[in-house]
């Protein structure tokens, strides 16, 4: 069985798949990729049993049908070192794959495709379409707040909430929370009206998905089953398992704006840069900053155990009772980085409550940071 494929098509296809193929695998066959040639398509699949990615290259010859698995890293490294523009010839003899290109020749050992534990085609329950740009927006706005290796395993992922034409993403590590949404979903299939549907996408899948997304208007199709989330790009299919658990009720954590008695408006860049400057003196263990809110004036102070100190005076828009509160300065900077508006609002219900941060007159992203004892 023989066929050939241009290295310029093959290399990017392998590049997209190789990310999920780990070096240290629980099952040896997972260091291989599955190659499946049928109906004029050359499909490469890699999986780590959490995320599965398939890329498809259309072939001119539609008469070939066969499949095999081959060591992913070796094939990728071989292709990487070949000259651009050349044609790579594949030949399968028994369990050996022979690759020929110009004067090079490689023989790789294959394993049978039928023992490769890739997913069966998913039977989805609901579907929608979204632009790459919008999906990237909600991921970027929230993913940094996910927990990492927390015993509350349902926090080690990103909550997706689908509500009519809204996609909301929520992440929390128990000390802060990030919320974001877009209301641009189209082609809704099996999405019941006025009903919230929740799924938790594992952390690693979010990182991998973000790598695949670009800031374009290209529409991608998302389908959801009880156990998987699948996204179809033009020549690529991305599937991830879901975390089997219940996400905490995040609505309770976000302070209602109408209950916030202390409302501050600040220039985002100025505030962010001031806080970043004094954050230098905070330590990995001790991240607290003391914020003293006065009439149109904020004093931010950082101490460390070595008795060093940093202080910034920042002009803000605030009128009300003076108060002092402590926050993890890293979380504040993260939130100010993620907001895109020039002006931000900081809202608190009282002088020792959590702080709600969002763009002025824009609720598409919201951050909640819990206070710290200072």
| Interface with other proteins (CB under 8 A) | 26-27, 29, 49-50, 95, 109-112, 114-117, 119-120, 149, 151, 153-154, 156, 202, 226-228, 241-245
CB of 115 to other proteins, least distance (A): 4
Smallest gap from Cβ 90 to other proteins, in A, equals 18
Nearest approach in angstroms of CB 33 to other proteins is 14
Q: Are 351 and 166 in contact (CB under 8 A)?
A: no
At which residue do the structure tokens 């020549």 appear? 235
CB nearer to other proteins: pick between 94 and 249: 94
Rounded-to-integer distance, Cα 165 and Cα 126, Å: 13
Coil, strand or helix at 272: helix
Q: Judged by CB, which is closer to other proteins: 27, or 315?
A: 27
Judged by beta carbon, residue 148 or residue 251, the one nearer other proteins is: 148
Q: d(Cα 306, Cα 26) in Å, to the nearest integer?
A: 45
With respect to other proteins, which residue has the nearer C-beta, 86 or 109? 109
Nearer to other proteins, 33 or 336 (CB): 33
- The structure tokens 């202390």 sit at 262
CB-wise, 152 or 277, nearer to other proteins? Answer: 152
Residue 252 beta carbon to other proteins: minimum distance, rounded to whole angstroms: 22
Q: How far is the CB of 240 from other proteins (least distance, A)?
A: 9
The distance of closest approach from Cβ of residue 242 to other proteins in the complex, given in angstroms and rounded to an integer, is 5
Whichever of 230 and 353 has its CB closer to other proteins, that residue is 230
Please check whether residue 351 is in contact with residue 324, taking contact to mean a CB–CB distance below 8 angstroms: yes
**Half-sphere exposure for 159 (CA within 13 Å, toward CB):** 27
Cβ burial, residue 57 (10 Å; 0-12/13-18/19+): middle
Q: Count other C-beta atoms under 10 Å from residue 374's C-beta.
A: 13
> What angle do helix axes 72-80 and 7-18 make, rounded to 10 degrees?
140
Give whichever of 33 and 281 is closer to other proteins, judged by the CB atom.
33
Residue with tokens 């809204």: 166
In this structure, are residues 173 and 253 in contact, taking their beta carbons and an 8 Å threshold?
no
| Smallest distance, other proteins to C-beta of residue 227, A | 3
CB of 62 to other proteins, least distance (A): 26
Residue 329 Cβ, how far from other proteins at the closest point, in Å? Answer: 30
The whole-angstrom separation of Cα 316 and Cα 295 is 8
Closest to other proteins by CB, 37 or 205? 205
Query: Which residues contact residue 173 at a Cβ distance below 8 angstroms, ignoring those fewer than 6 apart?
Result: 145, 146, 147, 148, 150, 155
Kindly report the number of other CB atoms within 10 A of residue 31's CB atom. Answer: 19
Q: How many CB atoms lie within 10 A of CB 161?
A: 17
Q: Which tokens hold the place of 140?
A: 């970027």
């Amino acid at each position: 069985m023989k066929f050939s494929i241009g290295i310029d098509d093959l290399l990017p296809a392998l590049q997209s798949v190789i990310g999920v193929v780990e070096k240290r695998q629980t099952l040896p066959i997972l260091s291989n990729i599955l190659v499946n040639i049928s109906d004029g398509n050359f499909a490469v699949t890699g999986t780590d049993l959490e995320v599965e990615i398939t890329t498809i290259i259309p072939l001119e010859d539609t008469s070939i049908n066969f499949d095999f698995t081959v060591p992913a890293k070796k094939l990728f490294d071989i292709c990487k070192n070949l000259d651009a523009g050349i044609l790579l010839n594949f030949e399968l003899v028994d369990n050996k794959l022979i690759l020929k290109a110009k004067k090079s020749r490689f023989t790789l050992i294959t394993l049978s495709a039928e023992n490769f534990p890739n997913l069966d085609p998913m039977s989805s329950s609901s579907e929608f379409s979204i632009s790459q740009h919008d999906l990237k927006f909600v991921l970027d706005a929230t993913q940094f707040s996910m927990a990492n290796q927390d015993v509350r395993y349902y926090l080690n992922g990103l909550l997706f909430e689908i509500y009519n034409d809204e996609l909301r993403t929520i992440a929390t590590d128990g000390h802060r929370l990030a919320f974001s949404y877009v209301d641009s979903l189209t082609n809704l299939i099996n999405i019941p009206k006025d009903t919230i549907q929740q799924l938790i996408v594992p952390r690693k899948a979010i990182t991998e998905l973000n790598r695949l997304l670009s800031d374009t208007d290209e529409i991608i199709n998302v389908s959801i089953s009880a156990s998987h989330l699948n996204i179809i790009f033009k020549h690529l299919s991305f599937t991830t398992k879901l975390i089997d658990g219940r996400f905490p009720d995040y609505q309770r954590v976000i302070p209602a704006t109408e209950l916030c008695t202390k409302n501050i408006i600040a220039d985002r860049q100025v505030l962010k840069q001031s806080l970043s400057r004094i954050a230098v003196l905070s330590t990995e263990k001790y991240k607290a900053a003391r914020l003293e809110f006065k009439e149109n004036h904020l004093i931010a102070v950082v101490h460390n155990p070595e008795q060093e100190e940093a202080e910034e005076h920042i002009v803000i828009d605030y009128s009300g009772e003076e108060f002092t509160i402590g926050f993890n300065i890293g979380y504040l900077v993260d939130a100010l980085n993620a907001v895109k508006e020039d002006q931000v609002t900081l809202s608190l219900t009282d002088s020792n409550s959590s702080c709600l941060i969002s763009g002025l007159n824009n609720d598409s992203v919201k951050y909640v940071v819990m206070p710290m004892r200072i």
